[in-house]
Amino acid sequence: MFMVSSIQSWCNNFCQRPTMDYIKLASAGVVTLGAATAYYLLQGPDAPSLPVDLDQQTTILPTTDGARISRMCDDNELITVFYSDFDTLYTGFQRGVRLSGDKPCLGWKPNPSTPYTWMTYQEVNDRATAFGAGLVKLGLKPVNSTRVGIYSQNRPEYIIADQAFFRHSMCGVPLYDTLGDEAVDFIVNQADLSAIICDKNVKAKTLLDRRKAFPVLDTIILMEPAEEEIKAKAKAEGVRLLQMHEVETLGKDNPTAPTPPKPEDLCMVCYTSGTTGLPKGVMLSHGNLVSCISGALRVLDVCNLTLTTEDVLISYLPLAHSYERVIEACFLGVGARIGFFQGDVKKLMDDIKELKPTIFPSVPRLLNRFYDKVLSGVNASRVKKFLFNMAINSKAKELKKGVIRNNSVWDKLVFKAVQAALGGRVRAITTGSAPISGTVLNTLRCIVGCPVLEGYGQTENSAVSTLTVVGDSEAGHVGPPLPCNMIKLVDVPEMEYYSNNNKGEVCLKGPNVFSGYLKDPEKTKEALDEDGWLHTGDVGEWLPSGALKIIDRKKHIFKLAQGEYIAPEKIENILVQSPYVAQVYVHGESLQACLVGIVVLDPDALPALASKLGLHGSVVELSNNPEMKKAVMKDLSELAKKNNLSSLEQVRDIHIHPELFSVDNGLLTPTFKTKRNDVRKYFAEPIGSMYSKMADVVKS
């Protein structure tokens, strides 16, 4: 599912405390080996009754080319609404107001030394009402064709602005830092954003500095106090600059009746980060998002994880993306609390410990780092490692029976400190955006003592299309379809995937699927076929249980562990410009955080390079020489930087192969295109070796 490079920076800084005192396992007052062994031999609880038959998680519909739906669907009907009074994101929030009017809604820390401050649901509603009326008074028409930009990190004002949009049928268009100037220019112009709401002066300055690139912009609204430099710049550029509180005051003085949206009205235009070219504006209606939310709520309800007014969420994943937006809408619709992290990832663990979230959305990169930190703490002591392994083995046996708990003797003896690091109240973790290792997944289920649910989807289907079921301990799949969409697999003959073998391109259909890309009928036609099926480009496999496993990518685009899409051919076209390189193949995997490459040196340039380095030998000997590899890597690195490749697009290791790819050795097509699947298989051993060496370096 669905993440950006800002997540990478959060993940890189996650769990950075030197001693990791919150992950120290309980070894104080060490239990004797005999007592630990006795505990180990204790019989765990009986297997619970599971919410669904794990051997039959889907139903095959007879008249839809083998399409499957969740067995949680009633009468084989896709769900569109879970709560009858929650059919748009506006009515969903109003439902939350009715349930929790004077209870906490949005929380934040004014500064690190003070506790969280909370606004009630009624206070949030009052501010959204005033802000919405202020927008209308400023001249923004209360109609669905009005689009308003929002350029902000997660904070309460983001939700207030969103609800103001919804109150008057306006459509929000999120912007985010990693888009780049060209993409921001494109979005502002394509979406006709005459007004943009910014959280910080620096973002307002960025827009004002590029004012000539988008003359349509005439209003900027700032959440934080405007600096004098920004005021002067706005005046010089002819842009109206207002504070958010000024707009709210304007709305209070000029109240306006709401003009709520209909389910078919656009809720947001969510721009995908894209791997090549400019981003695409995914048009998501209220009905799209609500059906996805409803499908997720249905699964949680069936799995005895029903959200209530007592639940707490920590908001730190970007609200500019559909994953976090759907999660927060779920919480607002049930009257639960949302607390915002301070914006400083180094303080994220402090925020978590104080907020004590009950549901913890995450991404594999973050969970992997948490897992690694736990293991590093464990490996520091033989006693800790022994107890930890016994605890994991014991709880893993329970996991296979469908037992997930945090009240065993092992939780009290070994895992208590780890669970406390996440606030001590987490009852479910969700993960998406990229696959997660089965070892990490099930170890976390044991350590934290709660379900860890893996989802799959993309922005075009409102973020989530499948979700694993509580009690299913098999890893490596993404579960059955949500009850809001059906899934079918379509033949990919060029990759030898066929639906009659339960393999093919994953195609989605249902009320959560988008209507198209803003002002881009050509790309819309590429994504949506005439029958309304969304072609994801991912290749899936139906497992005997009816769960879906993602096994490949139809197009030569893949995700790294951070959730970032990579276009390898773009990188290859740059690296092959090296005078020393004849051919290059760039490889990445969704369980790995970086790229590696297979390089064939140019036979004409090889003698001169060898002479320059003072090396001698055959082509095979030179290809295996560490100094040759070092020189080529240096050249490739300089070439990557010169062409502005991001850090994630740069290869971290290479294997030099002495023989050119050719039609004869099966690595090129007759038209001399790289047969990527065959190259990947052919070099599986050196690719695996490169990743293993990097993993060993990290561990050491």
- CA angle 281/283/289 to nearest 5° reads 130
Does position 2 have pLDDT exceeding 90, yes or no? no
pLDDT of residue 467: 97
- Estimate the crossing angle of helix 606-613 against helix 626-642, to 10 degrees: 110
CA dist., res. 210 & res. 233, Å (int): 11
pLDDT of residue 368: 81
pLDDT of residue 375: 83
Q: If you average pLDDT over every residue of the chain, what do you get?
A: 89
What is the edge-to-edge ordering of all strands in the sheet holding 68-70? 58-60, 68-70, 486-490, 503-509, 534-542, 548-553
Which pLDDT tens digit goes with each residue over 190-245? 999 999 999 999 999 999 999 999 999 999 999 999 999 999 999 999 999 999 99
- Which CATH architecture best describes the domain 359-424+426-553? 3-Layer(aba) Sandwich (3.40)
Q: Which residues contact 684 (CB under 8 A, 6 or more apart)?
A: none
Which pLDDT tens digit goes with each residue over 136-170? 999 999 999 999 999 999 999 999 999 999 999 99
Does position 474 have pLDDT exceeding 80, yes or no? yes
Does position 17 have pLDDT exceeding 50, yes or no? no
CA distances from 393 to 443, 473, 572 (A): 10, 14, 44
Write the burial class of residue 200 (CB in 10 Å: 0-12 exposed, 13-18 middle, 19+ buried): middle
- CA angle 337/340/344 to nearest 5° reads 160
pLDDT of residue 25: 42
| Least reliable range by pLDDT among 178-192, 446-460, 474-488 | 178-192
Structure tokens at 687: 């690719």
Closest of 449, 456, 419 to residue 434, by C-alpha = 456
DSSP per position, 587-642: E--TT-SSEEEEEEE-TTTHHHHHHHHT--S-HHHHHT-HHHHHHHHHHHHHHHHH
Confidence category of residue 672, pLDDT binned at 50, 70, 90: low
In the chain, % of residues over pLDDT 70 = 92
Model pTM above 0.85: no
Which pLDDT tens digit goes with each residue over 255-278? 999 999 999 999 999 998 654 468
Q: Judge whether 89-96+113-284 and 558-699 match in fold.
A: no
CA dist., res. 94 & res. 86, Å (int): 8
Q: Which residues pair with 552 in a beta bridge?
A: 539
| Least reliable range by pLDDT among 4-13, 441-450, 504-513 | 4-13
Structure tokens at 55: 């051997």
pLDDT of residue 10: 42
Does position 132 have pLDDT exceeding 90, yes or no? yes
Confidence category of residue 443, pLDDT binned at 50, 70, 90: very high
What is the DSSP-derived secondary structure letter of residue 196? E
pLDDT of residue 697: 66
Which pLDDT tens digit goes with each residue over 81-108? 999 999 999 999 999 999 999 999 999 9
Structure tokens at 110: 């004014």
Does position 699 have pLDDT exceeding 90, yes or no? no
- Which CATH architecture best describes the domain 89-96+113-284? 3-Layer(aba) Sandwich (3.40)
337-371 exposure pattern, b = at least 16 Cβ within 10 A, e = fewer: bbbbbbbebeebbbbbeebebbbbbbbbbbbbbbb
pLDDT of residue 632: 96
Residue spans of the domains in the chain: they are 89-96+113-284, 359-424+426-553, 558-699
pLDDT of residue 698: 55
Does position 37 have pLDDT exceeding 80, yes or no? no
DSSP per position, 84-143: TT-SSHHHHHHHHHHHHTTSEEEEE-SSTTSPPEEEEHHHHHHHHHHHHHHHHHTT--SS
CA dist., res. 24 & res. 20, Å (int): 7
Confidence category of residue 700, pLDDT binned at 50, 70, 90: low
pLDDT of residue 6: 43
Would you call 68 helix, strand, or coil by DSSP?
strand
8 A C-beta contact, residue 25 and residue 377: yes
Does position 16 have pLDDT exceeding 60, yes or no? no
In the chain, % of residues over pLDDT 90 = 71
Summarize the confidence of residues 579-598 as an average pLDDT. Answer: 92
CA dist., res. 594 & res. 648, Å (int): 6
Summarize the confidence of residues 582-607 as an average pLDDT. Answer: 92
Fold category of 558-699 in CATH:
GMP Synthetase; Chain A, domain 3 (3.30.300)
- CA angle 611/612/615 to nearest 5° reads 50
| Residue appearing with tokens 């730190």 | 316
CA distances from 617 to 607, 625, 627, 628 (A): 10, 9, 13, 12
Would you call 234 helix, strand, or coil by DSSP?
helix
Q: What is the dihedral of CA 206, 106, 194, 241, to 10 degrees?
A: -60
